[in-house]
Chain A
Amino acid sequence: MPNQLFGAMRQSIIDGAPDTATELAQQALANGVNPLEAVNEGFAAGITFAGEQFGCGEIFLPDLLASAEAMKAAMSVLEPEMLKRGSQREALGKVVMGTAKGDIHDIGKNLVATILSASGFQIFDLGTSVAPEQFVAKVREVDADIVGVSALLTTTMAGQKAVIEALDRNGLRPRVKAIIGGAAVTSKWAAEIGADGYSRNAIDALELAKNLMSQVTNKGTALT
């Protein structure tokens, strides 16, 4: 029975069906299924599959977004129960995100935030046209692992550099990893401004964030 339920959960995410995902999450709780297990065995498997499908061009951004929305719907049912049991799903990492100062284009940033969030990262979204000091303050406040700065315009890309400089100035790196994205951003630009990473799209950003987290975690061991 749980296997069948987990299968249905996985499918609801792949289908991008938030109503079904919500119902299945409620059903799981009513039947006494461990919510953490429901996430790991059911819903999260769906989002991982959707990500892989997107990566190989089988599904497209609207499909992926719908999957992320369904994931969000399921989590909003399961999270309160997990909190009650003290069995909260461990966040993969804390990510502070925003668009560079002067840039109000947030579609790419929102996509990345949605995918990272659906995949288990905790997102602190500062919105659009964010000053370097705001990034620094938020990183300190939440003890972030990663900072993501998005810029669409060639004229606001300098704002990405300003954030990295501000993080450096405040002694927050290399503890905090800085990643950048945006239509005109290239890996060359990322290297030039000393960013820890760049990705072309939201799914690559997820891989990047996961890789960086392993560096963040390993660093502690290396220091001892």
Chain B
Amino acid sequence: MRPKLQLLSPELVGRILGEAFELLMNPGVRVGSAVVELLQAAGVEVRVEGDDRVAPLPEALVRRCLASVPRDFYLYNRQGEKAVHYGGDDVHFDPGSCCVQMLDPDTLEARSSETRDLVRIVQVTEMLPQFAAQSTAVVCTDAPSAIGDLYRLLVVLEHSDKPVVTGSFSAAGLEGMIDLLAADCGSREELREQPRAVFDVCPSPPLNWSEFGSHNLLDLARAGVPAELVSMPLAGGTAPVTLAGSVTQHAAESLAGITLHQLAGPGSPIVWGGAPAIFDMRSGGAPMGAVETVMLNMACSEVGKHLGLPTHGYLVATDSKFVDAQAGAESARSAMLGALTGINMISGAGMIESLACFSVEKLVMDAESIASAQRLVRGIEVRGQTLATDMFAETGLSGNFLKLKETRALFRQEQHIPSTVIDRSARGSEPPSDVFSRARTRVDELVSKWRKPPLPEDVRREFQAIVDREADRAGVAAELPGN
């Protein structure tokens, strides 16, 4: 039996969706100009209120759009193998994204993130089986910001074979990124057939699919490249203070996103995702480590599951500024709870300071929490004909289980063997080390074992041509930092 946690009763899910549908009609949803024609063609009367375009979305239309969303889909690695299953209760993890700060392990200060940091994050992520996908984790502040989104993806593709969770910074940026992925797998058709990446697309709370967000949904739907909705209500700040109220707003924003997306490309893959959080009543920030933030992610995902959709959440992050006890506690418990909810993709590992900063040392520490969570959801399995009596038949009362062939055959399945980041050793003559110093050593080990994936010369040339073209379009020099 796979252990599973649920926070919402079926009745409450029904009420959440009921009120979400009400919100979609009144007050309606702000939308970008890009989708107005599409909505009008579907019979929606888009009204102009000041500078805004507001669309009431009737339940029948939304339900029709929901019906065309694929119930599951896969992301593929560079070798063309299925690597991430978005659907059911399968759980995967990827590093968080996307900040502009990196924790310097020597000074313990945050500094601007650069190409070398993203490369290091990608190398470590590539080496850790806990991460099914890469993410375009940090902005490289040493590259031209006008093509910063494209450049991040380029760096990841050059250093990894895994699927990628990414996103664009502008409507124009998306096209170049899709071209890059198409070049990597052969063509736009092949990308549609076997997508390697999913793109995060964010509405702005409350109930606003801005010009940029609307545009991205349309372009992704038409290209058939998976989209991941990242609605982020802040309970009490940009959304109702009650958790149930914020889950309702999340549902309304996500349903609106699905409607725009499916109208543009029926059957195109899309994920019911999000980064909901509470609003901190002291700092005005979004505390990612708060248990209520975790509860919001769990509940939002449950609503998505009720609708039969692939899901995503934002967990395994911390509000601490260091890789300390708070970071460990907050990240580990949210990894566990997210996994027990069966969220298909859980982003956030490696992030500190409420998503403002990345630490690659925390990434390897989080990998241990994730491994524990993955072990937990495998549950307690029955192996063999009997649970214990056959083994006792062999040992009698000697207690000598260590030499049993079953022990040797099964201990790797029964126990997760942690890396050296986790200290279980007996006290020796050396002074004990703390988790941060062990994590630093582990990062160095992983980076030294990493090998750059071979990239065919023609693909490399095509990458360069796309970067040149996009740099030209953005009016910046295509001279990029070496990586």
CB <8 Å contact, A183 and B356: yes
Q: Which residues of A contact B234 (CB under 8 A)?
A: 107
Question: Shortest distance in angstroms between A184's beta carbon and chain B's nearest beta carbon?
Answer: 5
> With A and B bound together, what is the CA distance between A100 and B286 in angstroms?
20
Q: A61, A107, A184: which contacts B238 (Cβ < 8 A)?
A: A107
CB <8 Å contact, A61 and B99: no
Question: Shortest distance in angstroms between B475's beta carbon and chain A's nearest beta carbon?
Answer: 15
A92 within 8 A of B: no
B window 226-252: CB within 8 A of A: 234, 236-238
Question: Shortest distance in angstroms between B233's beta carbon and chain A's nearest beta carbon?
Answer: 12
B window 93-114: CB within 8 A of A: 98-101, 110-111
Q: Which residues of B contact A183 (CB under 8 A)?
A: 285-286, 354, 356
Closest to B138 in A: A154
A111 within 8 A of B: yes
Q: 9 A-B residue contacts at CB 8 Å? A: A57-B282, A104-B204, A108-B284, A111-B284, A155-B139, A155-B145, A155-B148, A183-B356, A184-B100
Q: Which residues of A contact B285 (CB under 8 A)?
A: 183
> With A and B bound together, what is the CA distance between A60 and B279 in angstroms?
11
- Chain B binding surface SS class: loop
Q: A61-B282, A201-B284 are in contact. Are A154 and B139 (CB under 8 A)?
A: yes
Please, what's the 1-or-0 string for A173-184, where 1 marks a CB less than 8 Å from any CB in chain B?
000000000011
> With A and B bound together, what is the CA distance between A200 and B280 in angstroms?
13
Q: A61-B282, A61-B284, A183-B286 are in contact. Are A155 and B204 (CB under 8 A)?
A: no
Q: A104-B210, A154-B98, A154-B139 are in contact. Are A200 and B283 (CB under 8 A)?
A: yes
B window 261-295: CB within 8 A of A: 279, 281-286
**How many of chain A's residues touch chain B, expressed as a range?**
20 to 34
Q: Which residues of B contact A202 (CB under 8 A)?
A: 284
Please give me the 8 A-B residue pairs with the lowest Cβ-Cβ distance, nearest first: A60-B281, A154-B100, A155-B169, A61-B281, A184-B356, A107-B237, A104-B204, A201-B284
Question: Shortest distance in angstroms between B170's beta carbon and chain A's nearest beta carbon?
Answer: 8
Q: Which residues of B contact A104 (CB under 8 A)?
A: 204, 208, 210
B window 181-239: CB within 8 A of A: 204, 208, 210, 234, 236-238
Question: Shortest distance in angstroms between A190's beta carbon and chain B's nearest beta carbon?
Answer: 13
Question: Shortest distance in angstroms between A17's beta carbon and chain B's nearest beta carbon?
Answer: 19
CB <8 Å contact, B281 and A62: yes
Closest to A104 in B: B204
B window 423-444: CB within 8 A of A: none
Q: Which residues of A contact B284 (CB under 8 A)?
A: 61, 107-108, 111, 201-202
Closest to A61 in B: B281
A126 within 8 A of B: no
Closest to B30 in A: A104
Q: B99, B139, B236, B238: which contacts A62 (Cβ < 8 A)?
A: B236
Interface size on B, residues (CB 8 A): 26
> With A and B bound together, what is the CA distance between A183 and B275 in angstroms?
15
Please, what's the 1-or-0 string for B106-150, where 1 marks a CB less than 8 Å from any CB in chain A?
000011000000000000000000000000000100000100100
A87 within 8 A of B: no
Q: B101, B204, B283: which contacts A105 (Cβ < 8 A)?
A: B204
A158 within 8 A of B: yes
A157 within 8 A of B: yes
A34 within 8 A of B: no
Q: Which residues of B contact A107 (CB under 8 A)?
A: 234, 237-238, 284
Q: Which residues of B contact A154 (CB under 8 A)?
A: 98-100, 139
Question: Shortest distance in angstroms between B152's beta carbon and chain A's nearest beta carbon?
Answer: 11
Question: Shortest distance in angstroms between B146's beta carbon and chain A's nearest beta carbon?
Answer: 10
Given contacts A61-B281, A158-B145, 20 further A-B contacts (CB under 8 A): A60-B281, A60-B282, A61-B282, A104-B208, A104-B210, A105-B204, A107-B237, A111-B284, A154-B98, A154-B99, A154-B100, A155-B148, A157-B100, A183-B286, A183-B356, A186-B101, A186-B110, A201-B282, A201-B283, A201-B284
> With A and B bound together, what is the CA distance between A158 and B148 in angstroms?
12
Question: Shortest distance in angstroms between A163's beta carbon and chain B's nearest beta carbon?
Answer: 16
Q: Which residues of B contact A155 (CB under 8 A)?
A: 139, 145, 148, 169
Q: Which residues of A contact B100 (CB under 8 A)?
A: 154, 157, 184
> With A and B bound together, what is the CA distance between A158 and B99 in angstroms?
14
Please, what's the 1-or-0 string for A123-158, where 1 marks a CB less than 8 Å from any CB in chain B?
000000000000000000000000000000011011
Question: Shortest distance in angstroms between B465's beta carbon and chain A's nearest beta carbon?
Answer: 25
Q: Which residues of B contact A158 (CB under 8 A)?
A: 145
Please, what's the 1-or-0 string for A67-94, where 1 marks a CB less than 8 Å from any CB in chain B?
0000000000000000000000000000
Closest to A200 in B: B283
Closest to B234 in A: A107
> With A and B bound together, what is the CA distance between A158 and B144 in angstroms?
12
Question: Shortest distance in angstroms between B26's beta carbon and chain A's nearest beta carbon?
Answer: 22
Q: Which residues of B contact A62 (CB under 8 A)?
A: 236, 281
Q: Which residues of B contact A108 (CB under 8 A)?
A: 284
Question: Shortest distance in angstroms between B177's beta carbon and chain A's nearest beta carbon?
Answer: 14
Closest to A60 in B: B281
Question: Shortest distance in angstroms between A130's beta carbon and chain B's nearest beta carbon?
Answer: 13
Question: Shortest distance in angstroms between A56's beta carbon and chain B's nearest beta carbon?
Answer: 11
